[in-house]
Structure 1
Amino acid sequence: MRNITVIGSGTMGNGIAHVFAQYGYKVALCDINEAALQKAIATITANFDRQIKKGTLDESAKVNALNNITTLIDLQQAVKDADLVIEAATENSEIKLNLFKQLSEYCGDDTILATNTSSISITKIASVTKKPENVIGMHFMNPVPVMKLVEVIRGYATTDEVTAKIMELSEKIEKVPVEVNDYPGFVANRILMPMINEAIYSLYEGVAGVYEIDTVMKLGMAHPMGPLQLADFIGLDVCLAILNVLHDGFGNPKYAPCPLLVNMVTAGHKGVKSGEGFYKYQADSKELIVADKFSNK
């Protein structure tokens, strides 16, 4: 596999494109508008510059990697030569199903179709394609250029051959692939999201404040980031979507999203992406400031 198409140029999509381009793969990065693609290239360039400052990359490697990326807004054109398509669109079941229906029409019979979904069933996504045996999950972690894990999720029909190819490819880009089966939340989010939800409930019920909850988990459990800050980083809307998938999939009330989380997302407070969640975020500041709503808790 040499030609990789990445669908979606947001945080995860541009990170996936960054890594494959850095390791010499030809990457077609596709999104619905040119502005999103230009923003993605600017982000990738800035992240390469950070690697140069850290001494993990040189200028010629950056230039070569950027030359490996082609941006397109035409989906059919973007996937026509793809050996592997990785979908990294928004975490919305309807959007993904519609997209995979199109990919199934546009791609060759041997093209592997992967999704970076963090919770939506691979089997469900594969069911709308002509060759469900070629559909698999590649759940990268954020930030993609830094984090080593890739959850490789087998759908009900995914073949051993396709799984082996994706495991091998992940290792070639110096990631650590872990094979898991297709159940709601897979492994990472089945464990992580209930912890985040419980942290939000602890705030909601007045057990402690934002800073205090995060400090307990950072200093007491050696987590690099507290669960409320992590939720902001992931995106509160994404956390809510994943919890809804878990709740619907298992039918267990322990996965029901906290009402506070629901209200915050409804109000447009989605974390880093919106500028405010449990903390306030400013582009020119790295200081962690608790949001006014929670500053007296």
Structure 2
Amino acid sequence: MNYYCARCGREWDYPVSNCIFCDGKVEKIDTSEHVIDDMVQVSIPTEDHPIVPYYVMLLRGPDGSYKFKKTFQNHEIGDKIHLESEKYDKCTIGIIGTGITGRGIAEVALRTGNSIILKSRSRGALENTLDKLSRNLYKSLNIEESQLLLEKMTTTTDYISLAKADFIIESVVEDLKVKRNIFRILDSVCDPDVVLATNTSSLSISKISDGLRYPERVVGLHFFNPITRMQLIEIIKGDKTSDDTLSKCADIAKKLGKVSILAKDTPGFVVNRLLFTLINEACWMLEKGTSSVEEIDKAMKLGANHPMGPFELADLIGLDLCKEIIENLNCDSENIMSHSTNILNELVRKGYLGKKSGRGFYDYNEQLNYC
């Protein structure tokens, strides 16, 4: 039996009630080998467990006793595990960006027991993110539990602090020049074995990693909003991305309780190539007068069984981001998509960016159709 501080991670092989370093609560850890006699997958989110799927294992100990254990890792019945390894199988994740996506990745990382280093350009942005993260955690956890998670987060405005991370995820504006500059800095401050992942939704991984000393550790790790609910992560392999990097990405996806797929470094990858082709075509149909916003949305919901129509989805994503992705796909050498429509461009120019601004294709202040 070992003893482990849930706050700072220190351990002892003799009984301790409170950590002498941080006064945190010390827990017993059973280090003996257990056999998985049964396991069920839970796929319905609750307030206590908003991230799904997770698994409940029935474990048989060496003395014949049984215990239940929750985990985000999928195992086979009959597998032998050490509970200590389950406890410590966490890492420190560096996250660059404090927008909706960066904040979502941070929340998921904390809820799954990982430590994070959150980097933004300003202290004000970091304080705002901390406030929003705290409020989200308080919805399903008590104050003490929330504070224990938040204590696993450190914040910074410089890149040097990210050198302590085991894995880094960049989530900033969809601008190739900006991302290339960030990765140039990371390439110089991080150890060669640290994976540098970008959450780009449409830019080329190979172009981002071009000219770096260690391009083999650069990879795409594309999350989907809302990140606390959406289970998919696209892992994007660049021209020089190594198999070891891809393996680490699959492992980090499991640690975050997500399901991953592997895609080549092609325009839009898998989801966005299909999704924004649909959104852009809907915009062209609207501009040509084929049908109205509401009718097109209704057609896709009732005729194709989509949970929401293309205009509702565009408003949820953000019309500025939609415009950026469509233009990125249009500018690519494969020429897979038409340019963005005048209607979309005009909405973005006026600041009507969708739900986040209160108005887009729909007016969310009055719940009226805008176009």
The normalised TM-score by structure 1 is 0.89
Task: Determine the C-alpha separation between the residues in 2 that align with 1:45 and 1:126.
Answer: 35
The secondary structure found in structure 2 opposite 1:186 is coil
Query: Given the alignment, which residue of 110, 133, 150 partners 1:21?
Result: 110
The secondary structure found in structure 1 opposite 2:98 is coil
The secondary structure found in structure 2 opposite 1:47 is helix
Query: Given the alignment, which residue of 272, 290, 293 partners 2:369?
Result: 290
1:129 match: 212
Question: Which deviates the most, 208-217 or 163-172?
Answer: 208-217
The secondary structure found in structure 1 opposite 2:332 is helix
Task: Determine the C-alpha separation between the residues in 2 that align with 1:146 and 1:178.
Answer: 17
Q: Is the 8 A contact 1:23 1:65 kept in 2?
A: no
Question: Which deviates the most, 140-149 or 166-175?
Answer: 166-175
CA shift for structure 1 position 59: 5.2
Task: Determine the C-alpha separation between the residues in 2 that align with 1:253 and 1:105.
Answer: 35
After superposition, give the CA deviation of every residue in 1:59-98 in whole Å (9 maximum; x if it has no partner). 5543322221122112222x12011110000111111111
Query: Given the alignment, which residue of 242, 245, 254 partners 1:162?
Result: 245
Query: Given the alignment, which residue of 186, 196, 212 partners 1:103?
Result: 186
After superposition, give the CA deviation of every residue in 1:220-262 in whole Å (9 maximum; x if it has no partner). 2222221111111111111111111211214537432222212
After superposition, give the CA deviation of every residue in 1:139-182 in whole Å (9 maximum; x if it has no partner). 00001111000000011100111101111210122100001110
After superposition, give the CA deviation of every residue in 1:19-53 in whole Å (9 maximum; x if it has no partner). 11111111011111122112222222232234x1x
1:90 match: 173
Query: Given the alignment, which residue of 61, 64, 69 partners 2:148?
Result: 64
Which structure is richer in relative contact order (CA contacts within 8 A, separation 6 or more)? Answer: 1
Task: Determine the C-alpha separation between the residues in 2 that align with 1:191 and 1:213.
Answer: 17
Task: Determine the C-alpha separation between the residues in 2 that align with 1:230 and 1:128.
Answer: 37
1:6 match: 95
Query: 2:353 matched to 1:270?
Result: yes
Query: 2:312 matched to 1:213?
Result: no
Query: CA RMSD of the aligned region, Å?
Result: 1.7
Task: Determine the C-alpha separation between the residues in 1 that align with 2:355 and 2:197.
Answer: 27
Identity of aligned residues (%): 39
CA shift for structure 1 position 58: 5.6
Query: Given the alignment, which residue of 147, 169, 189 partners 2:230?
Result: 147
The secondary structure found in structure 2 opposite 1:15 is helix
Q: Is the 8 A contact 2:112 2:257 kept in 1?
A: no
Q: Which has the larger radius of gyration?
A: 2
Query: 2:364 matched to 1:281?
Result: yes
1:46 match: 135
Q: When you count helix as a share of all residues, which structure comes out higher?
A: 1
Query: 2:324 matched to 1:241?
Result: yes
Task: Determine the C-alpha separation between the residues in 1 that align with 2:251 and 2:163.
Answer: 23
Q: Is the 8 A contact 1:100 1:128 kept in 2?
A: no
User: Between Structure 1 and Structure 2, how many residues are aligned?
Assistant: 282
Task: Determine the C-alpha separation between the residues in 2 that align with 1:42 and 1:279.
Answer: 29
2:14 match: none
Unpaired runs of at least 5, structure 2 = 1-89
Unpaired runs of at least 5, structure 1 = none
After superposition, give the CA deviation of every residue in 1:168-200 in whole Å (9 maximum; x if it has no partner). 210122100001110111011110001001111
Question: Which deviates the most, 30-39 or 159-168?
Answer: 30-39
1:73 match: 157
The one-letter code of the counterpart of 1:226 is G
CA shift for structure 1 position 11: 0.3
Distance 1:85 1:192, change over 3 A: same
